[in-house]
Chain A
Amino acid sequence: MVPPLCFQHLKQYWAMYRLRLIRKSCLTQIKLLGFDTRLCHSSRPPVDLIGINYPAETINGRKYRDNHQTSQMPLSKINHILKANEYSYKVNGYDGRNSVNSILGLDSNILASNALNEDRRSAATCLQSRGMLLGVFDGHAGYACAQAVSERLFYYIAVALLPVKTLMDIEDAVENERPVLPMLQWHKHPNDHTSRDSGKLYFNSLRTYWQERIDLEEDEDRDIQMALMNAFKRLDNDISLEAQVDFGVPFSHFTPLRVALSGCTACVVHVDGDDLHVANLGDSRAVLGVQEENGTWSAHTISNDHNAQNADELQRVLSEHPALEHKTVVKHDRLLGLLMPFRGFGDMKFKWSGEMLNRVYETRPDILSANEFKMLPPNYHTPPYLIAEPEVTIHTLRPKDKFLIMATDGLWELMHRQTVVQVIGEHLTGLHWQKPVSGLSFTLGQMHRLLQERKSRAIFALEDENSATHLIRHALGSDGFGTVDPRRLSNMLSLPQDLARMYRDDITIVVIHLNSANM
């Protein structure tokens, strides 16, 4: 079972990268043609979508049209697909833990491009320390790494944030087999995948981490920024170590090795009061929705993408390798001509030494048979090429910061951040329309018109109570003029499995509603 699966991952891996290239060039063309990206926030012109569902039928125009009309998805089915993974969490107002709730709630959703979803999301409340953690993870070359990171990273951050005293209590409890106080309260959708194997291994690694922290007794007032950095690096290190142990043992689990050889980006937000920390690794992005005093919406990006489009990041990568390699380290905007994000978890083929990689390929040919990765990446001279050190941004929340959107690049490829903020902002105000009005000094006619206006907006907004779902609906179905074209949406959702990746990547969105009244 396993080898063909791996093979498929890698095939997709390649296909995806090829396609992203196509898309990127497409986007540049549109920009050249002078399209306003705010109006047309899809990266491809709307027209070419009509036919994509029926490549075989286009020969016979008549047949094509009939077929098209009959096969349009009903709205109920569209909603079913869009809402299958939506999740909302309302922060309990009486929660004594966060004395001032800076988060009202969160909406999240995942729409997979095809059957195998490689994106992950996580949300959890820190029980032993304060604050809430939220993250989106975009996996590649399989979901193994994204899955492991989405489950493990928050524990590492929690451990990194806890004072040594608390860690000692925990260690004591584990040692004496007493019940351990939970560190995190997860906010999970039932569909969110949970891995069953490796739990023991993961726990041992985590325990080693806190034991080391206890031994070092580094109890100086730790800042969140450092904690995030350490947690990220520590987890990536553990992933690497677990895999090395793993491949030395014949017939062991494949999981640690699969985790190490696949990869994922991560964008994690820690919110505590009005302190916002964003730790970003790779090309997912966190954007703040800011409402200016005149009521207009603007996007404020609080994370930097780690890819070739970011000049500083490009500079960093180049500076870490000898000048000789400058032509090969980044080729076609990719690391070693292969990988688009410049930072990430896992992907040990960009981290381990060539020696070690060769050993892996020799000792475990079973997991890597028949693919292009048998050999080292080209020009593999001075690893590591990929790092897992996040860039941490600090932001103090202001009353005008109304919400925070975190999403994987699947969304950002389809929509400009300004449009994203616009859509969510209008959705929220649309929902506000449902608040009661009071009818003083109106005439009946005025009131009637007002109510009808409210009703039509409410219907539009009510279709999605979940902002993330609303955003996906727009991202896929926008007709370019701010409204959703159901036909376009239906086409986008009914793409055949093998074609879907050409038009959309997995999309993961977390929208955090901020409590601006409390700031």
Chain B
Amino acid sequence: MWSVYKRGVHVSRTLYLWVGAVPNHVVLISLCARLGAVPNHVVLISLCARLGAGTTRLCAGIVSVAKPISIECKMADYSNSLYEHLEEETGVKTGYVKTGSLCLAQNQDRFLSLKRLASRLNVMGIPWDAVVSPPDVNHALATAAARHGVQIHERTTVNHVMMEKGHVTAVETDRGAIECEYFVNCAGQWAYELGQASETKVSVPLHGCEHFYLLSKPLPEPLQPSTPVVMDMDGRIYVRAWQGGVLSGGFEKNPKPIFTEGRNQLEIQTMQEDWDHFEPMLSALLRRMPELEVCEIQQLVNCPESFTPDMRCLMGETPGVHGYFVLAGMNASGLAFAGGAGKYLAEWMTYGYPTANVWPLDIKRFGNLQSSRTFLRHRVMEVMPLLYNLKVPRWDFQTGRQLRTSPLYDRLDTQGARWMEKHGFERAKYFIPAGKDLLSLDASKTFYKPDWFDIVGAEVKCCKEAVCVIDMSSFTKFELTSTDDQALALLQHLCANDLDVPVGHIVHTGMLNERGGYENDCSVVRVKKNSFFIISPTDQQVHCWSWLKKHMPDDPQLHLEDVSWKYTALNLIGPRAMDVLGELSYVSMTPEHFPSLFCKEMSVGYANGIRVMSMTHTGEPGFMLYIPIEYALHVYNEVMSVGQKYGIRNAGYYALRSLRIEKFFAFWGQDLDPFTTPLECGREFRVKFDTDIDFLGRASLLHQRQEGVSRRFIMLVLEDHDTELDLWPWWGEPIYRNGELCGTTTSSAYSYTLERHVCLGFVSPPSLDGSPAAVTPDFINRGDYEVDIAGQRYPAKAKLYPFSSLFAQQRRRKDEMELSNFQGK
């Protein structure tokens, strides 16, 4: 048997090896079937048990397309159509029935959330949910895979993955080693363990929870297979027809985490039914369908599902090891995602990137810091109930908090800070003034005007009129240095904007991929001739690191360091920021002396060596202070005490958000993604077209500039929207132009200056002949735009530029550049 594998290695150029240890065989096989179709590749699957012995065999078989984020909808939609045609392709029955599904609402808030979902689903056309028989789908996919030459080896356990110089080289199984170039960790529940078992540990942050569903015997009058799936999220249950009876499960409030200590703890086969645990769901079921009372029980099935820290699945190449891919953590939607996830990952492995924006699912959004077993155990206990919880805007996870904090955390907390978390880092949302009723503030989360409205309003006003301090320490900070000009060369290659600026200049730039899409959007400071300070969004810590590493030449003279933890960042926003800093440093901070987008190392209070940068990430005047952490408290205290007479106060991220959105500042991860180019969001001025440096993505951009963009980032100011009474926009709302669907929003905020809601989003004109049409100024300016919030359309004014200030700033910057060039020489 083994020699066959070996020969396989020699014959083929590339060997993909898939590993699915136990669960989620459907996911696995669907990928392989897809990959097997790619020529010149040998695909092996090794399974520690028999095919179909995993938990997908047990799963409920509902293919529901109504998912919280659009990439998930796309994946489920693809799976749906894949399963639909699987039977005719392979001749294997899959039990596919288009049933549709009914989502029930027991209260007004749930009804609203369903309406929001419905209006979003309109964007991709109303999908038909379906049910299948999971083992049959598994079998059919395996048949299809085998037809493409995929080899499946059952009862073969992968012990660990071998690597050399950051590349996967071979897989050590209980039946010998197999050389391979790519490896996919598709081991479901055991993916975490398998990740830990390789030479370089791979962090796969997921954790299992027991999941129960009930099978009944056929009803007296058997249920038709086409009976719609019923989801009663308030009752926390789902129900589908199953062999004349029902199959009903749910996501309880008090989940039972399992396998914390790993696989040796308990075998899947011995998992127990727990009726007492199922009681709330049984009650909910009988309350909804009282006639089931007389129906006899067939079985209570316990099939553990794996959950991730943010309710989204994990896919993609791991940051540390080239060729090591992961596809796991399906959060109980394994079957619905399998087809689509397989498709995208197969594309990813074959072409280097998938054909859709999968950043929300990219494993690089997590790092080692989410790998603690205790953290995962606690977090999944919160995540699993959340699947059926009402998701109101701006909810935060409550578990696994206070992991990374700024040195000022306690100070801010005692001043009334309310916290949110990003990539494990605590950030203040807003500050509750002394004397406000805290309870009522925390309790009310709503689709309407939130209770913090006035608080944030006051913070924004202070930013506009006086000065505010925002602790922005969570941002990712890298330092790239070299002995010669290697650092500059690398950045010139990776960044769209020109980095060859005098020392002390700050450059906002995207890091683009081949297609011209944003892999990162960052601010780069040239602190020395060959030393750059790179500031990226918080959740870029792993992704940006691996992007830089991937493109870095193997040169010992070039050094990249993650210095995120070394600096505390304070953002002083407001017209009086310069007065505060001036007083603390005895240096004039007026724009004449300290122009915009400059960085100087100077002293603040007693502390020396503070990096002061004239930018605020909001478009407002002010400064960012990058303070070595041991000075953080001192500088903060000095700033606050000196700032007293200028009316200084703390502010949080909500104020920052409102400010940046009204200034039309796009944020990576929310508005920008690897499929958005600078041209599509009006950032041509940040691309060095005027030089002949061949940066990554240049060709695509030039091509796009010629063809014109087919989608455009715009700003929509809601008209006729009552902030007090109407539903607030969030993100993901459909945008209509002259009654026709033309895009979706990506973020929104209330602008306290305009006293209106501002939504940011992308629109594209309808294609006439199948090829995408270019956006024209008329398309933006001469259209009646509407934003659909939960089925209600609100007229909006579309704008390409917020105020003239953007131009003014750009012009000023150019002037300053020339001036400083003059001074420098």
Q: Is B81 close to A, CB under 8 A?
A: no
Would A434 and B276 be within 8 Å (CB), given that A444-B285, A444-B286, A451-B282 are in contact?
A: yes
B276 touches A447 (CB 8 A): no
A187 to B282 alpha-carbon distance, docked (Å): 43
A442 touches B294 (CB 8 A): no
**Which A residue's beta carbon lies closest to that of B282?**
A448
Would A451 and B292 be within 8 Å (CB), given that A439-B300, A444-B216, A444-B286 are in contact?
A: no
**What string of 1s and 0s marks CB contacts (under 8 Å) between B284-300 and chain A?**
01100000111111011
Q: Is A191 close to B, CB under 8 A?
A: no
Contacts of B278 in A (CB 8 A): 451
B297 touches A444 (CB 8 A): yes
Of the listed stretches A125-133, A257-265, A452-460, name the one at the interface; the rest are far from the partner chain.
A452-460
Q: Is A438 close to B, CB under 8 A?
A: yes
Would A445 and B273 be within 8 Å (CB), given that A452-B279, A455-B279 are in contact?
A: no
A442 touches B297 (CB 8 A): yes
Q: Is A443 close to B, CB under 8 A?
A: yes
A443 touches B282 (CB 8 A): no
Contacts of B294 in A (CB 8 A): 443-445
A437 to B294 alpha-carbon distance, docked (Å): 19
A451 touches B286 (CB 8 A): no
Q: Is B274 close to A, CB under 8 A?
A: yes
Contacts of B216 in A (CB 8 A): 444
Q: Contact partner of A437 among B275, B283, B292, B293, CB < 8 A?
A: B275
**What string of 1s and 0s marks CB contacts (under 8 Å) between A441-478 and chain B?**
11111011001101100100000000000000000000
Contacts of A59 in B (CB 8 A): none
Q: Is B272 close to A, CB under 8 A?
A: yes
A444 touches B275 (CB 8 A): no
Q: Contact partner of B273 among A434, A438, A444, CB < 8 A?
A: A438
A454 to B293 alpha-carbon distance, docked (Å): 18
Q: Is A33 close to B, CB under 8 A?
A: no
**Nearest CB of chain A from residue B18's CB, rounded to whole Å:** 37
Would A447 and B274 be within 8 Å (CB), given that A439-B297, A440-B297 are in contact?
A: no
A436 to B302 alpha-carbon distance, docked (Å): 13
A454 touches B297 (CB 8 A): no
**Which residues of chain B (363-419) have a CB below 8 Å from chain A?**
none
A448 touches B283 (CB 8 A): yes
B282 touches A444 (CB 8 A): yes
Contacts of A436 in B (CB 8 A): 272-276
A415 to B216 alpha-carbon distance, docked (Å): 49
**Nearest CB of chain A from residue B512's CB, rounded to whole Å:** 57
A447 to B273 alpha-carbon distance, docked (Å): 13
**Which residues of chain A (397-454) have a CB below 8 Å from chain B?**
434, 436-445, 447-448, 451-452, 454
B276 touches A439 (CB 8 A): no
Contacts of A455 in B (CB 8 A): 276, 279
Q: Contact partner of A443 among B273, B295, B300, CB < 8 A?
A: B295
Contacts of B299 in A (CB 8 A): 439
A455 to B275 alpha-carbon distance, docked (Å): 11
Residue from B282, B283, B294, B299 having most chain A Cβ neighbours under 10 A = B282
Q: Using a Cβ cutoff of 8 Å, how many contacts connect chains A and B?
A: 60
**Nearest CB of chain A from residue B240's CB, rounded to whole Å:** 16
A444 to B287 alpha-carbon distance, docked (Å): 12
A447 to B294 alpha-carbon distance, docked (Å): 10
**What string of 1s and 0s marks CB contacts (under 8 Å) between B255-286 and chain A?**
00000000000000000111110110011011
B275 touches A447 (CB 8 A): yes
**Nearest CB of chain B from residue A462's CB, rounded to whole Å:** 12
Residue from A438, A443, A454 having most chain B Cβ neighbours under 10 A = A443
**Which A residue's beta carbon lies closest to that of B286?**
A448
A445 touches B286 (CB 8 A): yes
B296 touches A454 (CB 8 A): no
**Nearest CB of chain B from residue A441's CB, rounded to whole Å:** 7
B292 touches A444 (CB 8 A): yes
Contacts of A438 in B (CB 8 A): 273, 275
B283 touches A443 (CB 8 A): no
Residue from A436, A440, A448 having most chain B Cβ neighbours under 10 A = A448
Q: Contact partner of B283 among A434, A441, A452, CB < 8 A?
A: A452
Would A454 and B276 be within 8 Å (CB), given that A444-B282, A448-B283 are in contact?
A: yes
**Nearest CB of chain A from residue B419's CB, rounded to whole Å:** 28
Would A437 and B297 be within 8 Å (CB), given that A444-B292, A448-B286 are in contact?
A: no
B276 touches A451 (CB 8 A): yes
B275 touches A443 (CB 8 A): no
**Which residues of chain B (7-59) have a CB below 8 Å from chain A?**
none
A436 to B294 alpha-carbon distance, docked (Å): 22
**Which residues of chain B (556-606) have a CB below 8 Å from chain A?**
none
Contacts of A447 in B (CB 8 A): 275, 282, 297
**Which A residue's beta carbon lies closest to that of B214?**
A444
**What string of 1s and 0s marks CB contacts (under 8 Å) between B659-696 and chain A?**
00000000000000000000000000000000000000
**Which B residue's beta carbon lies closest to that of A439?**
B297
**Which residues of chain B (285-334) have a CB below 8 Å from chain A?**
285-286, 292-297, 299-300
**Nearest CB of chain A from residue B401's CB, rounded to whole Å:** 26
A451 touches B285 (CB 8 A): no
A443 to B290 alpha-carbon distance, docked (Å): 12
B276 touches A443 (CB 8 A): no
Q: Contact partner of B296 among A442, A448, A451, A458, CB < 8 A?
A: A442
Residue from B292, B293, B294 having most chain A Cβ neighbours under 10 A = B293
**What string of 1s and 0s marks CB contacts (under 8 Å) between A120-155 and chain B?**
000000000000000000000000000000000000
Contacts of B275 in A (CB 8 A): 436-439, 447, 451
**Nearest CB of chain B from residue A455's CB, rounded to whole Å:** 6
A191 to B299 alpha-carbon distance, docked (Å): 49
**What string of 1s and 0s marks CB contacts (under 8 Å) between B199-236 and chain A?**
00000000000000010100000000000000000000
**Which B residue's beta carbon lies closest to that of A438?**
B273
**Nearest CB of chain B from residue A454's CB, rounded to whole Å:** 6
A458 to B299 alpha-carbon distance, docked (Å): 24
Contacts of B300 in A (CB 8 A): 439
Q: Contact partner of B279 among A440, A442, A443, A451, CB < 8 A?
A: A451
**Which B residue's beta carbon lies closest to that of A441?**
B296
**Nearest CB of chain A from residue B809's CB, rounded to whole Å:** 59
A452 to B299 alpha-carbon distance, docked (Å): 19
**Which A residue's beta carbon lies closest to that of B287?**
A448
Contacts of B283 in A (CB 8 A): 448, 452
Contacts of A441 in B (CB 8 A): 296-297
**Nearest CB of chain A from residue B49's CB, rounded to whole Å:** 25
**Nearest CB of chain B from residue A432's CB, rounded to whole Å:** 13
Would A443 and B286 be within 8 Å (CB), given that A436-B276, A437-B276 are in contact?
A: no
**Nearest CB of chain B from residue A291's CB, rounded to whole Å:** 24
**Which A residue's beta carbon lies closest to that of B296?**
A443
**Nearest CB of chain A from residue B704's CB, rounded to whole Å:** 60
**Nearest CB of chain B from residue A111's CB, rounded to whole Å:** 31
**Which A residue's beta carbon lies closest to that of B299?**
A439
Give 13 CB contacts A-B under 8 Å: A438-B273, A438-B275, A442-B296, A443-B297, A444-B282, A444-B286, A444-B294, A445-B293, A448-B279, A448-B283, A451-B275, A451-B279, A454-B276
Known A439-B299, A445-B293, A447-B297; 16 more pairs at CB < 8 Å: A436-B272, A436-B276, A437-B275, A437-B276, A438-B273, A438-B275, A439-B297, A439-B300, A441-B296, A443-B295, A444-B214, A444-B297, A448-B293, A454-B276, A455-B276, A458-B276
Q: Which positions in A face B, CB cutoff 8 Å?
A: 434, 436-445, 447-448, 451-452, 454-455, 458
Q: Which positions in B face A, CB cutoff 8 Å?
A: 214, 216, 272-276, 278-279, 282-283, 285-286, 292-297, 299-300
Closest 6 CB pairs of A and B: A445-B293, A451-B279, A439-B297, A437-B275, A444-B292, A442-B297
